[in-house]
Amino acid sequence: MPDDATRPLLDGAELLQLYPTPTGPTQALRGVDVRIRTGTLTAITGPSGSGKSTLLAVLALRERPAGGTLRHRGVPVTALTRRQLQRLRRRHIGYIAQRPAHGLFPQLSARAQVEQTAWLRGKPVDPVAVLGDVGLVERADALPAALSGGEQQRLAVATACVGPPDLVIADEPTAELDDATADLVLGRLRRCAEQGAAVVLATHDARAVAVADVVLHLRHGVLSAEQHGTAGRTAAIDGYGRVQLPEQALALFPGGRAVVEVHADHVRLLSPDRSGIREEGE
């Protein structure tokens, strides 16, 4: 068994998530393999409805996957009781909801939010320093309802990063922010990763993708490609050998079928029509 230094914090294999709808279940995740490592910032991108928020909810241990396996520090989450999951979420996971106010305690001031989270995590902090990191010292006594959207987001990020916890999950943290506030929020999340957290965010925002160590691309509930640092984008191949072609390649295969040629060092996909023409010409 690998030790903590090499083992991912979260290791998901063939993750499946279904939601009931009047016309039958929607497959929000259709067999996603994903590894999330400590000290890295991962951005999950993809079109609307591709499964980003669903994957975040599963990784944040807020939803149990309908299928597949998710391991947290090597332990399958299905082996954890509700109480253990609740304790993990409270002490070790910071979650920043798509609407930041949803993750804040409405009756607590900005300062008290930080103190409460520090207490829940068993990690004493100086609330003034925590708020100062995101330019909120002067709003320390304000309730969430009295804060602007950008201030709420800064408070949600500052609070989620208290400790820091093992894992910080953020759903579109910069969606409605101007450049200066987005920089502040992304800078805090980046530092959180450098301080040892695994940070995962869902985003449509190029500013957020630019600061990520790893970018995962989802399409139709499938992990289609990933990118690590400055290395090029690689297509994901799942355990069954499935690859999701880029959208622009689909026009080459109007019948939805391909001839697959496996060579010593590469694989070619040809439209059956083109492959026939080529054979006749040979």
Ligand X SMILES: Nc1ncnc2c1ncn2[C@@H]1O[C@H](COP(=O)(O)OP(=O)(O)OP(=O)(O)O)[C@@H](O)[C@H]1O
Q: Contact residues for ligand X (CB under 6 A)?
A: 19, 21, 26, 28, 46, 48-54, 202
Nearer to ligand X, 12 or 164 (CB): 12
Closest separation between CB of residue 32 and ligand X, Å? Answer: 11
Closest separation between CB of residue 208 and ligand X, Å? Answer: 13
Closest separation between CB of residue 132 and ligand X, Å? Answer: 32
**Residue whose pair of structure tokens reads 């590469």 in the numeric block:** 266
Nearer to ligand X, 17 or 152 (CB): 17
Q: Output the CA–CA distances (angstroms, integers) from residue 27 to 15, 74, 201, 221, in the order listed.
A: 11, 26, 21, 7
Q: Output the CA–CA distances (angstroms, integers) from residue 173 to 22, 57, 268, in the order listed.
A: 31, 15, 40
Would you tell me how many other CB atoms lie within 10 Å of the CB of residue 119?
A: 12
Closest separation between CB of residue 55 and ligand X, Å? Answer: 7
Nearer to ligand X, 115 or 172 (CB): 172
Nearer to ligand X, 7 or 204 (CB): 204
Alpha helices by DSSP H, listed for 36-109, are 52-59, 82-92
Task: Check if the beta carbon of residue 186 is closer than 8 Å to that of residue 167.
Answer: no
Closest separation between CB of residue 202 and ligand X, Å? Answer: 6
Torsion angle of alpha carbons 71, 74, 76, 82, nearest 10°? -90
Nearer to ligand X, 62 or 278 (CB): 62
